[in-house]
A and B are shown apart, each in its own frame.
Chain A
């Protein structure tokens, strides 16, 4: 039957000619190819010493941002937790007390903010959902660990270092 795509190609199997049957020319061709690779630069990256450069939109470990005065931006609205398809984020909100204005930007803040790095799929939906520009996946690769409980990252690991005056 005629093929509809018109891409059908009939291959004819020719018997090998003498050059091909001698096998040695083909071996020499193969040896030349491998020798070309012998002098190529290795593509290996020796990981702990060298690191591969990340692309600009790489999504790594989360960080909770501070504003230009060093106050935490997060207001514990919970939109990130709601948007998270892996349900990796959880938090407890608290009210800002008098005298804490230099710590938190809004009247409400996250007393506890936890991300389970084993659940997280690094999709970046939390960063898109956040109305306060408080969370970004701009960190490094999440390091390995021995226990499951150590993969639940709290505010101690997530919040950006305070500004130094």
Chain B
């Protein structure tokens, strides 16, 4: 029990550090990738190829003046960004980062906690995430911030419905809400995306909306709302909001990879594990999972620098009139096909 607890704590610290580092370098990657998409070079002054740029940005954020507007509610103004980054960080707790690792007789579970309602937990955390934006926008006492916050709330609530419906079809196939079991079911190349392509497309569209990324970045739409919900924020409080967005992107990429793209599974994993031993084998799986996550993060950025923002009524149309009916249709289709396959004995 004692060693198990220590392993858990070490794992929590490692995952926390990894998500912070990934978020930090996502900001760098975003600027670099944006530059490449626009035939530019991107940041290249801080360190070789500009790899120290995130540190310089962080230093700038810390040293800037901390402004709390006179008419803002000070307590809520500070709670907003803290809540945003807290909810972004706790989502990683239920994600299975790899198979069980056996080192010197000890079995190490590469997952912080395996709760049997992991998918629900993720949904709960995602819904809490909007409170950070809401509270911050409300406490700023600024009409642009308030409009941004309201947009964020209505957008997240609308897209949570279709996200939940798109995942129900997946849960009908897996029969479990535990992310660990879902990952184990996709052993080898038996990935869920093969059985749920429409569900995956719906889920990824909703994931874009939930993380407030382009083309759904209306809460911080600069052309209409100055800076959106963080108009009044400066210094590290602004940094927290921006950071929370990148951590959210990392976590939602991990969730997508786990639910639909096989998590840490890859074709030929049994052969590899048999050859390199039970200590190294699961780590290769973890590397594969991270490769998938980075591909998804790249996709997030790729879409951002390709597609312009939706108009607000188009956003609501897409959410309520297209995605929800499609998701319900997907549930019906999944039910009919899986029952038919069972009936005819496949």
Contact = CB atoms under 8 A, between A and B. Distances in A.
Contacts, number: 36
Interface in A64-106: none
Nearest to A44: B41
Contact of B41 (A24, A31, A34, A46): A46
Contacts of A37: 36-39
Interface in B20-42: 33, 35-41
B50 to A, nearest CB: 12
B300 to A, nearest CB: 12
A30 B307 contact: yes
A36 to B, nearest CB: 10
A27 interface: yes
Given A42-B40, A42-B41, A44-B41, A34 B302 contact: yes
B332 interface: no
A15 B283 CA distance: 53
A9 interface: no
A29 to B, nearest CB: 10
B40 A34 contact: no
Interface string A18-48: 0000001001001101110110111110100
Interface in B47-93: none
Interface residues of B, number: 15
A138 B167 CA distance: 70
A117 to B, nearest CB: 29
A30 B305 CA distance: 10
Nearest to B45: A46
B120 interface: no
B39 A27 contact: no
B295 to A, nearest CB: 13
Contacts of B36: 37-38, 42
B107 interface: no
A34 B306 contact: yes
B115 interface: no
B39 A34 contact: no
Contacts of B44: 46
B317 to A, nearest CB: 11
Contacts of A41: 39
Contacts of A33: 306
A108 to B, nearest CB: 53
Greatest chain A CB density within 10 A among B33, B35, B36, B201 is at B36
Contacts of A43: 39-40
A5 to B, nearest CB: 34
B276 interface: no
A52 B40 CA distance: 16
B103 interface: no
Contact of A31 (B33, B35, B306): B306
A35 B302 contact: yes
A35 B298 CA distance: 12
B306 A27 contact: yes
Greatest chain A CB density within 10 A among B38, B39, B306 is at B306
B265 to A, nearest CB: 26
A34 B37 contact: yes
Contacts of A35: 302
B340 interface: no
B9 interface: no
Contacts of B303: 27, 31
A154 B248 CA distance: 61
A38 B35 CA distance: 9
| Closest 10 pairs between A and B when the two form their complex, measured CB to CB | A34-B306, A44-B41, A30-B306, A42-B41, A34-B37, A38-B36, A43-B39, A44-B40, A40-B39, A42-B39
Interface of B: 33, 35-41, 44, 201, 302-303, 305-307
21 contacts: A24-B201, A27-B306, A27-B307, A31-B302, A31-B303, A33-B306, A34-B37, A34-B306, A37-B36, A37-B37, A37-B39, A38-B33, A40-B39, A41-B39, A42-B36, A42-B41, A43-B39, A43-B40, A44-B41, A46-B41, A46-B44
